[in-house]
Structures are given as C-alpha cells and as structure tokens.
Structure 1
C-alpha cells in the first residue's frame, strides 16, 4: 500500500517539480537546462557495443567531489568500461564536468517514477549502478532489480536521526533497503542501522572522503596566498549555508582581533552575490576571488598596492570560485566547517584535516556524527555551540600557536590514518562487473542520450 501511495504521489508531484525547477532557475540558470533528462529522456544514442557501463549517482557538489577518487579508480581498474555520472543539481553536474571532462558521460537522474526510470535504464543499459551515501529511491531500486542491474549503496551512512525516521515505516522500508545488491557502509554504526532497516550483504569499508586529496598545485597556491597575507590571523568559514553567514560574521565581530582575516566560502554558488551584499552591509571591506587576476597570488587593493597592503586593508575574502576549496584551507590557520551552526547536519571536515588545518565545527552534525566524533577524539577538531563559543575558540587558538600547530598535525594524521576505502570499494565492485570481453548488460536500447 505504501509503495502504491508513493508512486501515486510522484505522479501528482512531478508537474510541481518542473515548476520548482523553473523557480530555482531564477537564481541558478542550470535548473532550466536538460529538463527532459529528469523524465528519462535525452538527446543522442549510446554506442551499440559490449563496453560495460558503470553508473555512479552523486547528487550534488559534495557527493561528486567525494566520488572523484572512486571514479578515477574505476576507470583505472576497468579501462574497457564507460562511466556515467548522474546528478540532481546543476552544481553537481558542473563539478563533474570540471573534475572529469570528457572522461565520463553525464546526465540528470530521472524523477522516481516507473516510466522515467525504465526509460533511463533502457537507454543506458548499465552493468552496475552505484548510489552514494544516503540516496534511497524506492522505484529506482525496484526497477534496477527487475532489470537485473546490480545496485550498490556505496559509502553508505545512516545517522541515528534518519534511522529513527525510517524505522517508523516498518516492513516497507525493509523491502526498500533489501533491494540493494550490496551495501558498503562507512562505519560499524552505519552498518548496524542499515542492517536493522533490511539491508543485505552489508560490509564496512570506511569513508571514501578520506581518499579525497587536494591537488598539490592547489595546496601550493593556498600556501602562497597565506604567505602574502603576512602575520595576521587568517581563518576560513567553509561551505556555509543560508542563515549561517550572519552567525559567522557575528563570531568575527566578537573575535576582537583587529587585523584578523576571514575567508568566507558559501556552499552554493547562486548565493555568492547575496553573501557579498551581507558582508558589505556590515561595513566590512570585501574582496571577491573572482576579482583576482588569473595567476595572481592575492588581489591588489589598487594598482599601487601590493598583497601585504591588501592584507591590512581587507576584512573578508569571498571564496566565489569552484574547485579551490583545498587552496582556501591551505591559506588559513584555522577552519570552521559550515552547515553546523544551524540544524542542517554539518558538512565534510575531512578535506580540511587532510590539508593539516585545525577544525572547528558547530553542534549540528547529524549527517557526520561518527567522523566528527572521531576527529574530536583524535585532537584534530573542536566542537563549538554558538557564535560566541566559536569566537572564543578562535581567539584561544590564535593566541596559542603550539596548540594550534599540534591540532594541525593531529588533523593531518587523522586523515591519513583512515585512507584506503576507495581500494576496498573497487575490489568489491569488480566482483559485480562482467569480466573484460564478456559483454555488457543486454537490456534493450531504444532511448536518446546526452553524450
């Protein structure tokens, strides 16, 4: 009964979902592009050959970047295969284009209706499907099972909060999670909750995000910026969300260090202008990354001022670029991870740790409970409760350089200690693919593609 209600609800919601795309496109134009893909239709045709196709679903920017080591490893392990990367947001699609270029195929994942999912599967004929972390779409799971497409929940996590919500659906949710061919969990706690919800063939392989490495050139760029900033304290507020920048700026004002520099990096690109206006309304001197000359170490406040003069003049650098998070972390003495001062679940702190930056994170981390607890226990991170507590922690760490250096070393060691999930995951996935030369999935091909 619940399944029938769910499918009926999608038929009712789909037209409204299209309307929502066009409303969102007012702020981010990409939402009005490739709309037909969201119904399983696109332009072009997949070549008729025996090359296996590995389909990886990564919703948005964070999941796409987390999938990078896995996609690279899959391409290396099976050079005869194609990889299809699907997304739900234009930001995720743009990140995929930036990271992989023409090495992968890409499209949007269709809405979770039987007809759209069937068109998608007939068109692409995947040999193996991977969905990342928490992506559970009941119709997609059902249709993959009917089409004999192995579907793996990869880098899977299940917070206690999400578990309690899902468990209320009883047997229905067990049928959904039982539809995955394999579930590859990040931690024993995730594995236990997923098993309770009906998942089969569950293995604990670790967190793929520990294998995310900022390119050395990107880190070197950030280190160059940091040297140009001079002796002033520098901190980055990364992946901040709507409503959170006000709290970050409140903490900045309470910090009480006149020459401190804040690098502010909103999570969503469509909010860059909004956040810039917010900073300027507080009468803070702002420079945007997009205003920097290509290849310049730091922006010049004027044609006659060098980077050191800017470092004393500017209060806030707005990180309004894509793909430079590693540089922003490397340019800072301390990192605050956004999505955590409001009840939004937090964001990934691993990349900051990998660069060797001490981490501060707010109280709302239900999407990253285990990794946050592990980082705090390792001495790599501190958890703060509110803007005043954030200001206090920043001030104490800026004033205590030995403690700050020790936290940075602990962060780097913490990130290094947990690497290896990508290799373990690929080893499992290779057992689910046809042997080289054995042919790809034989589902009928009749649809159009955006290649």
Structure 2
C-alpha cells in the first residue's frame, strides 16, 4: 500500500520533476540533455548484452564505483556494463573515467515509476544490478525482483540519521530491502543498522573508495600545480575541497583573518573547490567581493609552460581532477562538514598522502572519519576559525606535517580490499 501511495505521489510530481530539470538547466544545461531516458525511452541506444548494470547517481558514487567496474570488466569479459546516473555531473564523470571503454554504455535511470522502470528493464534485460551506496528506489528495487534481475546494494551505508528516518516505515522498509538479492555494507555499524531494519543477507565488504587509485598523470599534474601555486615565495597550499553552499563565506572570512588567527604562519595559497559545478561562477564572484585576487584552474595550461600564480585563491573549476587538487595540496579541508550536511569523502585525499581537516558534521562518513582521526591522518575542527588556527599550526610544523602525511597513506592502504570482497559476494549470482 505504501508503495502504491508513493507511486501515485510520483505521478503527481512528474510534471514538477520535468520543470525542475528546466530550472536546473539555467545553470547546468546538461539537465536538458537525454530527457527521454528519464522517461524510459532508450530506442536510440544499443541494447545487445549480456549486461551487468551499475547505478551511480552522481560524481562521488561514480568515482567510488570505478574499481568495481574495472574489476567486473576484467572478471566477465563476455559481458557489457550498463552505467546509469541521475545527474549530468555523474554522467560527465563516468565519461571521463570510462569514455575510451567500448564495453560500457551510459544512460540515465528513469524516474521511479513502475511502468518507466519496466521499460528500462525490458529494454536492457540486465543479468544483475548493483546500486551504489544509498540509492534505494522502491519501484526500481521491486521491479528488478519481479523481472528476475538480482539486485544488490553495494558499498552500502546507512547513517544513524537515515536509519531513524527509515525505521519509521517499519515493515514496509524491511519489505523493500528484502527485494534486494543482498546488501554489501561498508562498515559493521552500517551492517548492524540494516539488520535492525530486518534486512536479511547483509555482508560487510568495506568501502570501495579505499580502492580508488589516483592516475599517475593526475599526480604529475598535481605536483606541477603545487609548484605553480608556490610562486617565487614558496607558498604552501591549503585545499578546501567539495565545499557546499553556506560554507564558502565562513571559510573566506576566516581566511581573510589568517594572520590574526594563525599567528606568524604566512597565509598559504587557498585552493577552493566547490562541490557543484553550477556554483563555480558564484563562488569566484564571492571571493572577489571579499577582496581576494582569484585565478581559475580552467585558465591554466598545466601541460604547457607555466608561470607562477600569485593570486590569493585558485578556484578549482574543473571536473574529474580532485586527485590532482589533493596532490597539489599540503593540507586539505573536506567540505560539507562545517554545516550539518554530513561531510564528504576524505579517503581520496588520504590516498595521495594529503592530511585532512574535517568539520564537526560527518554523519555520512562517520566511520571513515573516526578511523582517519584515530590513525593520525585527520584532525577535527569545530568551526572555520579553528580550521585556520589548526591549519596554521600544522603547516608551520614540517615534521608534524610529514608525520600526518605518512599516517594518511598508511590509513588508506590498510583499508583496501573492498573490491575483492564485493566481487566474491557477487560471484554466486554473476557466475550462475
């Protein structure tokens, strides 16, 4: 009954969902591309399989899926891989990562209405599906079971906050999760919360993000960018990565008062990387109004002959280069954590040996954050002023900085192996 009510609400909301695409396209034109796919229309796409299907809603999930996708292609050479998304930035990230792989096809997953889901499943007829992390769409999950498509929730996480919300639906939530062939959880805490909902077949496989390997070319560009930002005075580089709306004013205000807060430590170059590309121009204008000189990554040719950039702030206005930005930085703050937004992935920074500062709000990545703090790879700060004070203290102490860098690399290395465990858990279905 709840799924019926949910579907009726979706019917009523569908015109608004289409209008929202047009609204969002004002800043991000990609929302008006491939609209038919969101309605289950795939007639122009090849559908010759056999298909393995991975759904990665946006940028973070697509990056996290990379080691799994690459391993699936190696393990099942006779299959093709269908990679679905919900956002243009996720699709763009997938194209950057896999654009040269002829066995991968990208498209949008349709809106979560029963007949649209049936169109999708009948067109591609995937042999198995994997939804990344938190992407639980009731009609997709139920439709896959009815169509005989084993569907797994992989790299699954369920924060305490999400658990409390989901638990309100009682048996309906448990029934929805029972339609999965399996739930492969990141941590023991995630697994316990899924089991408390009555979900059977939960396994702990770890976090796929630890298996992400930065490309050597990106690392080399990062070293080049670090030298460009150092300039003639040998400035250090502080990254503020994946910042969210409302955080940049706090960061810019604290950064403006750096000397008052950080003492004698010279103010570093700030590498400011908003999470959402539609906000690049807005954040650049905000920094300029705050009195900072601003350069943009899109204006730099790091492959050619470069000159030092003396601007206070370099805006990271590019997609698919986060590993490069972290490689360029001596220390990184991970956004989404100063305000109660749940935080973002800190693993990618640790993987390249860049120590991390994190704010108080990390409920979306609680276990990884606590593990990184315990390992000495991460320090938690309560607000933007404390961020500046802590950054100044760490950057002023080269021995401490080197120690945290080593801890970051060790932390990332110790937690690898989720891809192997995930493939092992999927094997009974994929090799059937």
TM-score bin, normalised by smaller chain: over 0.9
Aligned to 1:443: none
Question: What does residue range 96-245 of structure 1 map to in structure 2 within 5 Å?
Answer: 96-103=94-101, 104-228=104-228, 229-230=230-231, 231-245=234-248
Contact 2:221 2:302 in 1 (8 A): no
Question: What does residue range 10-409 of structure 1 map to in structure 2 within 5 Å?
Answer: 10-44=10-44, 46-48=46-48, 51-103=49-101, 104-228=104-228, 229-230=230-231, 231-256=234-259, 257-293=265-301, 295-296=303-304, 298=306, 306-307=307-308, 310=309, 313-409=310-406
Contact 1:285 1:314 in 2 (8 A): yes
Question: 1:73-120: per-residue Cα shift (whole Å, max 9, x none)?
Answer: 100111110000000000000111111015210111111110000000
Superposition deviation, residue 293 in structure 1 = 2.4
Contact 2:133 2:154 in 1 (8 A): yes
Q: TM-score, normalised by structure 2?
A: 0.95
Superposition deviation, residue 66 in structure 1 = 0.7
Contact 1:225 1:297 in 2 (8 A): no
Aligned to 1:414: 411
Contact 2:153 2:182 in 1 (8 A): yes
Contact 1:224 1:297 in 2 (8 A): no
Contact 1:378 1:410 in 2 (8 A): yes
Pick closer, same or farther for the CA change 1:6–1:47 going to 2, 3 Å.
closer
Q: TM-score, normalised by structure 1?
A: 0.91
Superposition deviation, residue 297 in structure 1 = 6.3
Superposition deviation, residue 225 in structure 1 = 2.3
Pick closer, same or farther for the CA change 1:408–1:60 going to 2, 3 Å.
same
Contact 1:34 1:42 in 2 (8 A): no
Q: Which has the higher contact order (CA 8 A, sep 6+)?
A: 1
| Partner SS, residue 107 of structure 2 | strand
CA distance in 1, matches of 2:16, 2:408: 45
CA distance in 1, matches of 2:199, 2:222: 43
Question: 1:44-82: per-residue Cα shift (whole Å, max 9, x none)?
Answer: 25355xx42111000001110111111011001111100
CA distance in 2, matches of 1:419, 1:66: 13
Aligned to 1:445: none
Instruction: Give the unaligned 5+ runs of structure 2.
Output: 260-264
Pick closer, same or farther for the CA change 1:86–1:43 going to 2, 3 Å.
same
CA distance in 2, matches of 1:106, 1:347: 25
CA distance in 1, matches of 2:45, 2:380: 50
Superposition deviation, residue 434 in structure 1 = 4.6
Superposition deviation, residue 330 in structure 1 = 1.1
How many residue pairs end up in the alignment?
422
Aligned to 2:262: none
CA distance in 2, matches of 1:136, 1:69: 21
CA RMSD of aligned residues (A): 1.3
Question: 1:359-417: per-residue Cα shift (whole Å, max 9, x none)?
Answer: 00111111001100110011100111111111111111111111111111101000000
Instruction: Give the unaligned 5+ runs of structure 1.
Output: 299-305, 436-451
CA distance in 2, matches of 1:45, 1:259: 52
CA distance in 2, matches of 1:44, 1:282: 49
